[in-house]
Chains A and B, each alone.
Chain A
């Protein structure tokens, strides 16, 4: 099963049937607004996606029981298929399938009620605190704040902050094993003095995972005894050279089940319904991304662009890192994207004239009525503009987490031993082989070229990059399913979930509009050849069907690079998809004319060349 399953190695649960004889699997994702059921069926020996059902999530008043929303979503599946799944007495699902009714496996992910919200503390901001941050994010948490001894805040400011946060859980790290423990104890005392309260009720002790210097475990236990539900695990940084996030990550997940989920409305019941533990949605999504990397043996950069959060995943040289940007999203958080990115950055993606105030009002109105959807083309394009910025900011955030270990002793000089400067992220677009997207806006885009193009604008892939897309938002479902039924999950993933949109070929560098950028020669499967002389500022789509391969020789101009060095030709196999091969000579960074009318003209040219939107309404808009 490879690396993919390291993250959630549960004791194998007692399933009602072995995987081999299963015929029906049901997976749900209890989202913050919608509960999404996905029904999988093995037909003629092959697992396929069967049908989807959705219903509003019922975690909040007046319902306050998530199982109601789950039942409604499953009921929709029943209605669409005629296959009975729910127990008549309301006690859950009929498990296993008895030849007529029921399902062999039921599992779920959840992000309802705000997901898993954590506070992280460590000794040094760029070392143990950063490792703890990665571990918490790796468990699918939203990290509310990272407290460190050297974070620049006075102790009383930190205490105030902790008092106001009300996290679901705290992860405390710090110190290498056997090192001095005094400073870690200082942080621990600060946390205790602040008396943080759990978000979901003041009546139980807040869980704390301690993953720091093992020599002071006893002192930590004495300090926290009676105040917190303490779980002690192996040190996250046993030595400066080693980061060991796995035990902390697993502990966070177990406590999530024990403490957080069991206090959320209806989860006690839902936990009884499922065959395997409930997983946070970003964790499920991340497993799906790992599944791609594991199968294709490639570097993958993925994203779940949701309504409230943007989750970015990278698997580079086998190292998996997840970031959750809690307040970047397309509905609840849409105005925070506007706030973080600034209106001018959103406006730059809009090819027609519109007042800033009008765009701001529309986004505010979307935020206060988050379930509405764009009806007009104009509205859709405004949302797509915001999406590019949410994705850009999400990747920016991800890069601050996906860094090399800091504080590691290197061979360079002795003075580098405690290098604290921010090091470059290893997530470099030239090294990314696959980009994969999921989430409502990307999955529901009316034209399949739209997510490919939006991701290209936002992330600026370089070199040759395959582009994948979740078809109907089921990556979290397949992620959780894969923990026990890997082959079934992969079968559905490969055949029904993972849309191959195409391949992007993009040169890094910049020049004047119209200057030579790259020459792309494609030898198509039928032996015919296509030669495209791409000038700077051009973009073009070459149709190549899904599964078809073409041999490409790409020769960049001397100031451009495709990964082989400036001006050096690259040979590659490019694989087609629903959209085809996207030849992108718009420069890295992307070139925008300063003059507004010229910018709009250029955007219109790109949009119409790619047939990104319906032609006549687009023409009408930009007129």
Chain B
């Protein structure tokens, strides 16, 4: 998503009094917005041609830009195959640099002893002779250019064109970020399959009519349910949590470094809370459920390091936009709703009660900056500031 440059997050000022009025949350909250303007930059990996102008209406599958990347090169050791010196190779070349060749077509030929010895070098692929080196005796045959197209991903309007690179597509709708996902961009109609945010997604809840749908579940998806979702052809699954072992078994690979989006497991999976059995935030669940039957644009791509990218669900609609500002930009003050994101209160929701300035000892004996949170059940919990995220809603 494109975003205007913000002012940098300011660290909290030290004060002489015992409480700070406002603090920066170390962990940005995930966005859960009912109605905002969403902009997406749709960009080619290398320069090419932009297919639409500013103001054009596009659907999610409209191609907005295209280019070609150079074809796959193949190295042919011509001198070695012919049994000649590299510097002599060009004498035996049937094709010169720039010539087009077909797979199997001779590119070099050697004959000796009045034709009794013949050696032929066929092209390994369709393509063009790119180089023929007299130093190495290698010929490079470059395959046909590979076309690359970028679609709009969102139904909406093109609001900006980056010449030769791509476009910015704008739409209005709900925008929900998950914490982790696998699988790339998909689309489908929203279908809620659990009664509430606490119920688990089990195989019997996934029926044949889930095909092509974006399924919304509660606290946990089981391994069997993931297999069933792939079997019926669901587009995406959005759920509170997943067990590490189940995900490893299902995808056939252990997640090492969190750079995802390329997996091909049959559907895109987004977890909104974390690993293990975790109730989906009631707000997130309620919001998603209220859009049952709407088209959703979903992307599971996640990257935690070097450019944080969280998975997302975008539901285009015409409702009036939210007036509320960016809670994260405002910082954390008493009353700010927060979610605790680490043991021993993992998943608990409450509001900031106080923001003591003094460092406090934890059970682990670490001295850290803390805040107290008034939990929904009325209890007060003291937690490190690093262990909460602001709930943006």
A interface residues, Cβ below 8 angstroms from B = 32, 53-56, 58, 60-65, 68-69, 71-73, 75-76, 79-80, 113-114, 155-156, 159-160, 181-183, 185-186, 189-190, 193-195, 197, 202, 216, 219, 308, 327, 332-333, 335-336, 338-340, 356-358, 360-362, 364-365, 367-380, 444, 446-447, 613-614, 617
- What string of 1s and 0s marks CB contacts (under 8 Å) between B117-142 and chain A? 00000000000001101011110101
- The distance in angstroms between the C-alpha atoms of A114 and B275, with both chains bound, is 26
> Does B335 belong to the interface (CB within 8 Å)?
no
- On whether the beta carbons of B5 and A63 are closer than 8 Å, the reply is yes
Contact in complex: B363, A377 (CB < 8 Å): yes
In the assembly, what is the distance between CA of A76 and CA of B138, in Å?
60
Other-chain contact of B74, A65, A114, A156, A333 (Cβ < 8 Å): A156
Kindly list chain B residues whose C-beta atoms are within 8 Å of the C-beta of A357: 243-245, 276
A444 CA / B365 CA spacing, docked (Å):
11
A197 neighbours in B (Cβ, 8 Å): 46
Mark out the residues of chain B between 121 and 171 whose CB falls within 8 Å of any chain A CB in the assembled complex. 130-131, 133, 135-138, 140, 142
Neighbour of A361 across the interface among B45, B256, B275, CB < 8 A: B275
Residues of A within 8 A of B6 (CB): 62-63
| B66 shortest CB reach to chain A, Å | 16
**A374 touching B304 by the CB < 8 A rule?**
no
Stretch at the interface among B188-196, B206-214, B341-349: B341-349
Which 4 A-B residue pairings sit nearest by Cβ, starting from the closest? A68-B8, A446-B365, A336-B256, A193-B73
A-B contact count (CB 8 A): 211
Given contacts A60-B308, A71-B8, A194-B73, whether A340 and B244 have CB atoms under 8 Å apart is: no
| Chain A residues within 8 Å of B133, by CB | 185, 189
Give the contacting residue for B255; candidates A339, A340, A372; CB below 8 A.
Answer: A339
Q: Cβ of A360 and Cβ of B46 under 8 Å apart?
A: no
| A368/B3 in contact, CB under 8 A | no
Question: Does B283 have its Cβ within 8 Å of any Cβ on chain A?
Answer: no
26 contacts between A and B (CB under 8 A): A56-B24, A58-B9, A62-B4, A68-B7, A75-B11, A76-B14, A113-B306, A185-B136, A186-B138, A193-B140, A202-B45, A335-B254, A335-B256, A338-B254, A357-B243, A357-B276, A360-B275, A361-B243, A364-B244, A365-B346, A368-B274, A374-B364, A375-B387, A376-B343, A379-B343, A613-B365
Q: 9 more A-B contacts (CB under 8 A) besides A216-B135, A336-B256, A379-B364? A: A56-B8, A159-B72, A189-B136, A327-B256, A364-B244, A368-B304, A375-B384, A377-B363, A614-B365
Question: In the complex, which of the residues A69, A76, A219, A369 contacts B342, with contact meaning CB atoms closer than 8 Å?
Answer: A369
- B86 on interface, CB distance cutoff 8 Å: yes
The distance from the CB of B177 to the nearest CB of chain A, in whole angstroms, is: 12
Q: Are A114 and B306 in contact (CB under 8 A)?
A: yes
**Are A80 and B86 touching (Cβ within 8 A)?**
no
At the interface, yes or no: B261 with Cβ under 8 Å from chain A?
A: no
Main secondary structure of the interface of B (DSSP, over half): loop
Pair B254/A362 contact, Cβ less than 8 Å: no
> B386 within 8 Å of A by Cβ?
yes
> Hey, which chain B residues are within 8 Å of A189, CB to CB?
75, 131, 133, 136, 138, 140
Cβ A339 vs Cβ B130 within 8 A: no
In the bound complex, residues from chain B placing their C-beta under 8 Å from that of A613 are 365
Query: Contacts A62-B6, A336-B256, A446-B365 hold; do A364 and B75 have CB atoms under 8 A apart?
Result: no
In the assembled complex, which residues on chain B have CB atoms less than 8 Å from the CB atom of A195? Answer: 70
B343 touches A156 (CB 8 A): no
Contact check, B307 vs A335: say whether CB atoms are below 8 A apart: no
Contact A361 B276 (CB under 8 A): yes
Quick one: given A60-B306, A365-B346, A378-B343, are A339 and B254 in contact (CB under 8 Å)? Answer: yes
Alpha-carbon separation in the docked complex, A339 to B364 (Å): 26
- Contact of A377 (CB < 8 Å), options: B14, B245, B364, B367: B364
Closest chain A residue, CB of each to CB of B302: A368
Contact between chains at A375 and B343 (CB < 8 Å):
yes
Check A62–B5 contact: CB distance below 8 A: yes
Let me know if A308 and B180 touch, CB within 8 A: no
Q: A62-B4, A202-B46, A375-B384 are in contact. Are A155 and B257 (CB under 8 A)?
A: no
A375:B362 contact, CB within 8 angstroms:
yes
Report B-chain residues with C-beta under 8 Å of the C-beta of A53: 11
* Minimum distance in angstroms from B44 CB to a CB of chain A: 9
The residue that A32 contacts in the complex, of B256, B305, B342, B346, with Cβ under 8 A, is: B305
Inter-chain CA distance A368–B275, complex, in Å, is 9
CB distance B244 to A360 under 8 Å? yes
Residues from chain A with Cβ under 8 Å of B387 in the complex: 372-373, 375
* Distance (whole angstroms) from the CB of A346 to the closest CB of chain B: 13
Contact with A along B332-355 (1 / 0, CB 8 A): 000000000111101000000000
Chain B contacts to A: CB under 8 angstroms: 3-11, 13-14, 24, 26-27, 45-47, 70, 72-75, 86, 130-131, 133, 135-138, 140, 142, 179-180, 243-245, 254-258, 274-276, 302, 304-308, 341-344, 346, 362-368, 383-384, 386-387, 389
A336 to B365, CA, bound (A): 27
Residue of B nearest to A60 (CB): B307
- List residues of chain A with CB within 8 A of the CB of B4: 62
User: How far, in whole Å, are A79 and B304 apart by their CA atoms in the complex?
Assistant: 31
Q: Which residue of A lies closest to B44 (CB)?
A: A202
Residue of B nearest to A216 (CB): B135
- Whether A365 pairs with B342 at a CB distance below 8 angstroms is yes
Whether B258 contacts A368 by the Cβ 8 Å rule is yes
Bound together, the chains give a CA A327 to CA B364 distance in angstroms of 26
Q: What residues on B are CB-neighbors of A219 within 8 Å? A: 135
**How far, in whole Å, are A361 and B271 apart by their CA atoms in the complex?**
13
What distance in Å separates the Cβ of A570 from its nearest Cβ neighbour in chain B? 36
Given contacts A189-B138, A193-B140, A333-B257, contact A447 B9 (CB under 8 A): no
How many whole Å from B1's CB to the nearest CB in chain A? Answer: 9
Partner of A72, one of B8, B135, B307: B8
Evaluate whether A193 and B130 lie within 8 angstroms (CB atoms) in the complex, with A72-B8, A364-B274 already known: yes
Q: How far is the CB of A391 from chain B (nearest CB, A)?
A: 18
Taking the nearest CB of chain B, how far is it from the CB of A479, in angstroms?
A: 23
Q: Whole-angstrom distance between the alpha carbons of A194 and B389 in the complex?
A: 44
Q: Once bound together, how far apart are the Cα atoms of A195 and B143, in whole Å?
A: 13
Cα separation A364 to B70 with both chains bound (whole Å)? 39
Instruction: Find chain A residues with CB under 8 A from B362 CB.
Output: 374-376
**A64: B residues at CB distance < 8 A:** 5
A375 nearest in chain B by CB position: B362
Given known A-B contacts A193-B130, A375-B362, A614-B365, A365 and B11 have beta carbons under 8 A apart: no
Chain A residues whose C-beta falls within 8 Å of the C-beta of B254 in the assembled complex: 335, 338-339
Task: Compute how far the CA of A338 lies from the CA of B256 in the bound complex, rounded to whole angstroms.
Answer: 8
A570 to B131, CA, bound (A): 67
Distance A190 CA – B130 CA, assembled complex (angstroms)? 12
Residues of the B chain whose Cβ atoms lie less than 8 Å from the Cβ of A62: 3-6
Given contacts A361-B244, A364-B244, A364-B275, contact A335 B366 (CB under 8 A): no
B293 to chain A, nearest CB (A): 30
Cα separation A182 to B275 with both chains bound (whole Å): 53
Check B10 against A72 for contact (C-beta < 8 Å).
yes
